[in-house]
Structure 1
Amino acid sequence: MATASSHDRAPPAVPAWSERLARWAYGTALRLATPLYFLKLWRRGAAEPLYRMAWAERLGLGERSPPGALWLHAVSMGETRAAVPLIAALRERHPGLRLLLTHSTATGRDTGRELLREGDVQRWLPLDTPGAVRRFLQRHQPVAGVLMETEIWPCLMAEAARRRLPVVLANARLSPKSARQGQRLRALLHPAAARLWLALAQTEADAQRLEAAGVGRVLVSGNLKYDLQPDESVRARGEAWAAARPQATRPVLLMAVSREGEEAALLRAWHERRGTGALRPLLLIVPRHPQRFDEVAALVRQAGFSLARRSDWTGQDLPPAEAWSAEVWLGDSLREMPLYYGLADLALLGGSFEPLGGQNLIEAAACGCPLLMGPHTFNFQEAAALAEEAGAAVRVSSLDEALDRAAALLADAPALAHQAAQARAFAARHRGAAQRMADAIAPLLAAAPLSR
């Protein structure tokens, strides 16, 4: 279990002239690239219409909000969901707290809507140019800022420091790869990191890298994702689906939160194993990004497999009978991962079979779903190592080895049950980060006015 410990060693400073020059060049480049940025948003909006709304907010414009809210930035869906237990803990300590919730992606904004209460507002995070961040902070005047995980922006941090606005990096992580990349932009990123009031690191290793990156004060507080409780009604629906299988002995193998390149490789390997008998598992693929749902569906059909899509029976209590005859299912829905984990007998961890750093394995553990993970888990290095040590997940070296191991495990019900129990115990053992982080942030909220 992660324990709170502090790091207060001040890193060497970047000369002021060097930082000003780097930040001027950075801000100028972003201003010149603004038309291209909006063109990118427009193109993404063809698949995700939220990207085409409220563009003025991207420039720090738009409707003002009453001053004194806690500003919390969660870039996308994963960070927004991770913020849920922290927000709950902060509201418990400070009833009536108002939130200014910002995001950068459509999935983040859509997920964040569910967290809003009366008096809260939701905005896009502005482009990191001096003018946009100045207008944003002037329009909203938050009492403090909380940035989730990795979001440190040079112009934003400089303007916050000028306004004496304390900013905390919560659930902070910094992979070795990102740390090396950051060193190449040290003149720009080191001063931005140094302006943080506090970083609440997931692990001791993250804390050490954050210090080296310029953060002056770090507290090791654990990972908020352990505190996320899966929706039991959604998970139970998945178990009900599993119980309703026409072929009760046919297992379900899940590729969870898959990334680019993984689905095609999986389908090729699956095709090579085709025709292995009546007990061949149902393959369920849930892509990480919703804009890729149609792309993955096309990959499945091109590989010659029959396909059933979750979106075709949304709102039904059980999948239609014809869906069970399909060789591959596509989980093309949002906020239903507990359902898929409840349905699956075994899962493969997406993002770990290509050099992409892996995905969050904690939700699978909390749902009691046995897990096989590939060699690439550097974005969740400690969680992956702890899960492997606890017997909650098994490491394999390749996708082919994963499928061979999956075949053996799916034929061994006692081994699957044991790993499922180890997964639940592992997830429970590491909870508590939300309370520790709320304790650290709470002093900043003393001046926050109440909305209710």
Structure 2
Amino acid sequence: MRYCLAAYRLAMIIALPAIFAYLWWRGRRAPEYRQRWRERCARQAMPVQQRDGILIHSVSVGETVAARALIDALIERYPQLPITVTCMTPTASALIQRLFGERIYHCYLPLDSRAATQRFMQRLAPRVVLVMETELWPNLLLQAQKRHIPVALLNARLSARSARGYTRIGRLMRPCWQQLALVAAQTQATARRMRCLGVGDAALQVAGNLKFDITVAASVHAKAASWRQALQQRPVLVAASTHQGEDEQVLVAFAEVLKQQPDSLLILVPRHPERFQRVAQLTLDSGFRMQCRSQTAVHELQDDTQVLLGDSMGELMQWYVVGDACFVGGSLIERGGHNPLEPVAADCAVVSGRHVFNFDEIYRRLAQFNALCWATDAQQLAQQWLRLLNQPTQRQQQCLNGKRGFSQSQGATERMLTMLERLIPARVYQPGETDAAQPNGNDRTLKMMETKQVGKQEIWFDPRVVEDVPSAFFRPAYWQQQKAIAGNATGRSTVWFIQQGDQGMLLRHYYRGGLVGKVNKDRFMREPVANSRAMREFSLLLKLRELGLPVPRPIAASMVRCGLMSYRADILVDVIPGAVDVYRLLRERALSEAQWQTLGQAIRQLHDKQVYHSDLNCHNLMLDDKERAWVVDFDKCDIREDGEWKQANLQRLLRSLRKEQQKHDDFNWQEQRDWAPLLQGYQGHQ
């Protein structure tokens, strides 16, 4: 696999110039392809608030339309989490921005080069990646795997033809399939094919097709009714998502329709915007009277117009609602067809060609319910259109049949939301919920934080705790002037306890340790802001509190650039009311067996969530006046895969207790008496 991946990466590097040349070429007719190239390389700035959220990749328009209800549900179910929706095409980008607006963050998914995907995942750092249908990219998945980010493939579909293609590159793709934490397949057939490709049984489930959950909004019905009235009840045919080689056949078929239904209107909607101009010229050359939607309001359409070119974006569903019957493109030629469920939801009778291998299961089901008509060429398309226009009762029955088959297959959205609960364990945030300093009492996330830049200083802070954080907040001298210093503690460095009204805070400056610290006290090598010491700890504490772990609440973090290549860092965290560290407690008295067990349970809580503490010692364990245990100081800590580090954490704590016992005669700890209860608490025994 290593050699296959290396070959793939080399191929991507070689292909990049050709890819950008292709985008430039497509930009001749669709200028959007020549825009936002920084996003294609993941070189754009990303808001800090988008980190640690949900990344949803929906490659193009069809996947975006299908995922709409799911994305809306995720926004509603997890309002505390930022949601980023990516795509690959300008048409999908425009649709995403129109459907979701400022409720989500949107950008292009970068091209699958190693450098671009590394930058993208480093800056966005999602907690989960949701990929719609089959858009799997090896480098992106490898970056997710390195960061222990679960990847789910939703609404997964895989035709027999595509499965054979993946089999040919099995050595490259098999690790990608095996990596997936969840695959929600549309059908049993897709599930079988994916199992053969390497998806594990534990990850594989059948959830149905999101496209069956498509609904037509009331606003769409209202606008379509207005348009229908403006068209004076003319017979309306829609040719949707047509490709080169189909437009000619559609126009020939429509010419036959006009011989019997001379008042008919054809709404012709090419699949790709860059073909709008070419199809417009083809229509005029064929002798039709044509107007373009981009230049004409529907209410201003001339009575003798025969073809309306649908060269606008985001109106296809409205055309379906307006139409009496439609042709779904990509099916008269070998393109595999497009989604027929949108016109079914809109009560528009469907005619399709036979080349529908991309949606084989859906078309087979609609055929079982007599909910569509087949055509293999222009002549048959004309015959089917005329039959549907001339026999309104049969047309209505076909639409009813489609709705019946449609309704029996709904529910995929809810099933997928249920499946995702194990990958997105965050509790649903309740507006107004208290942020009391206690375990399980905080669902604050980076999305809710604010950031500011003051000269060379970057500041992150929680506006619910402090309305604003000036630079001076990170200087002990400022708090001394305010007479707000409540105390300090010394060790390798000094931490300051601050009392600002009712708010207790701890201010800690980051220092270097070891031999390096003797010559370079507090400067660190420059790195991205989000990866700097204070911001990384700030982010981690937010995540740990969201998981209900007994850690302090972060209040603010600072990074100050120094010179060309370094920075200094500080953090403000909540003071835990009534809490005293184990070191100080043991200098005063011995702890009870129950207290040691409580401490062991707190450590186990962290380890169960795969939280690695880089410096677990008796100074970083605390007990409060309600006998609750806390863990503090998460500098250089992270979430990592299971491993021997858990036992190493415990051994580090044991060494710190032994060390303090040797240094202090009044240190009330006996290993034989006290270590066993801590391990009992850790192991879950009473």
Asked if TM exceeds 0.5, the reply is yes
Q: Which residue of 2 aligns with 1:32?
A: 14
Distance 1:396 1:100, change over 3 A: same
Gap runs ≥5 in structure 2: 427-442, 449-686
Within 5 Å, give how 1:280-359 maps onto structure 2. 281-314=264-297, 318-320=299-301, 322=302, 324-359=303-338
Q: Pick the aligned partner of 1:130 from 114, 119, 132.
A: 114
- CA shift, 1:274, in A, is 7.2
Amino acid of the structure 2 residue aligned with 1:235: H
Q: Distance in 1 between the 2:323 and 2:242 partners?
A: 15
- CA shift, 1:49, in A, is 3.5
Amino acid of the structure 1 residue aligned with 2:332: F
Q: Percent identity?
A: 36
- CA shift, 1:103, in A, is 1.5
- CA shift, 1:279, in A, is 4.1
Q: Distance in 1 between the 2:415 and 2:169 partners?
A: 32
Please say if residues 231 and 338 of structure 1, whose CA atoms lie closer than 8 Å, have aligned partners that are also in contact.
no
Relative to structure 2, which stretch is displaced further, 325-334 or 369-378? 325-334
Residue aligned with 2:320, SS: helix
Q: Does 1:52 align with 2:34?
A: yes
Amino acid of the structure 2 residue aligned with 1:437: M
Where relative contact order (Cα < 8 A, 6+ residues apart) is larger, the structure is 1
Q: Distance in 1 between the 2:158 and 2:343 partners?
A: 23
Q: Does 1:224 align with 2:220?
A: no
Please say if residues 196 and 215 of structure 1, whose CA atoms lie closer than 8 Å, have aligned partners that are also in contact.
yes
TM-score normalized by the length of structure 2: 0.59
Q: Pick the aligned partner of 2:154 from 133, 154, 170.
A: 170
Q: Does 1:235 align with 2:235?
A: no
Please say if residues 94 and 445 of structure 1, whose CA atoms lie closer than 8 Å, have aligned partners that are also in contact.
no
Q: Distance in 2 between the 1:446 and 1:170 partners?
A: 18
Within 5 Å, give how 1:193-232 maps onto structure 2. 193-216=177-200, 217-232=203-218
Amino acid of the structure 2 residue aligned with 1:335: G
Q: Which has the larger radius of gyration?
A: 2
Distance 1:308 1:166, change over 3 A: same
Q: Does 1:180 align with 2:164?
A: yes
Amino acid of the structure 2 residue aligned with 1:178: S
Q: Which residue of 1 aligns with 2:403?
A: 424
Residue aligned with 1:64, SS: coil
TM-score normalized by the length of structure 1: 0.88
- CA shift, 1:117, in A, is 6.2
Distance 1:115 1:281, change over 3 A: closer
Q: Does 1:451 align with 2:444?
A: no
Please say if residues 174 and 209 of structure 1, whose CA atoms lie closer than 8 Å, have aligned partners that are also in contact.
yes
Within 5 Å, give how 1:8-27 maps onto structure 2. 19-27=1-9
Relative to structure 2, which stretch is displaced further, 60-69 or 104-113? 60-69
Q: Which residue of 1 aligns with 2:80?
A: 96
Provide Cα deviations, 1:272-328, integer angstroms capped at 9, x if missing partner: x376245463222111122211111111111122112222223x6x243x2x31222
Relative to structure 2, which stretch is displaced further, 114-123 or 161-170? 114-123
Residue aligned with 1:207, SS: helix
Q: Which residue of 2 aligns with 1:263?
A: 247
Residue aligned with 2:153, SS: strand
Q: Does 1:142 align with 2:121?
A: no
Distance 1:357 1:278, change over 3 A: closer
Q: Does 1:69 align with 2:25?
A: no
Distance 1:238 1:64, change over 3 A: closer
Q: Does 1:157 align with 2:136?
A: no
Residue aligned with 1:444, SS: coil
Amino acid of the structure 1 residue aligned with 2:145: A
Distance 1:116 1:406, change over 3 A: closer
Q: Distance in 1 between the 2:384 and 2:174 partners?
A: 44
Please say if residues 235 and 341 of structure 1, whose CA atoms lie closer than 8 Å, have aligned partners that are also in contact.
no
Q: Distance in 1 between the 2:77 and 2:316 partners?
A: 30
Amino acid of the structure 2 residue aligned with 1:300: T
Q: Distance in 1 between the 2:324 and 2:98 partners?
A: 30
Amino acid of the structure 1 residue aligned with 2:35: M
Amino acid of the structure 2 residue aligned with 1:403: A
Distance 1:327 1:113, change over 3 A: closer
Q: Distance in 2 between the 1:279 and 1:307 partners?
A: 15
Provide Cα deviations, 1:402-447, integer angstroms capped at 9, x if missing partner: 2112212211121112112222333333221111111111222225
Alignment length (residue pairs): 427
Relative to structure 2, which stretch is displaced further, 425-434 or 48-57? 48-57
Amino acid of the structure 1 residue aligned with 2:192: Q
Please say if residues 203 and 221 of structure 1, whose CA atoms lie closer than 8 Å, have aligned partners that are also in contact.
yes
Please say if residues 237 and 342 of structure 1, whose CA atoms lie closer than 8 Å, have aligned partners that are also in contact.
no
Please say if residues 99 and 121 of structure 1, whose CA atoms lie closer than 8 Å, have aligned partners that are also in contact.
yes
* Structure (1/2) with the larger helix percentage: 1
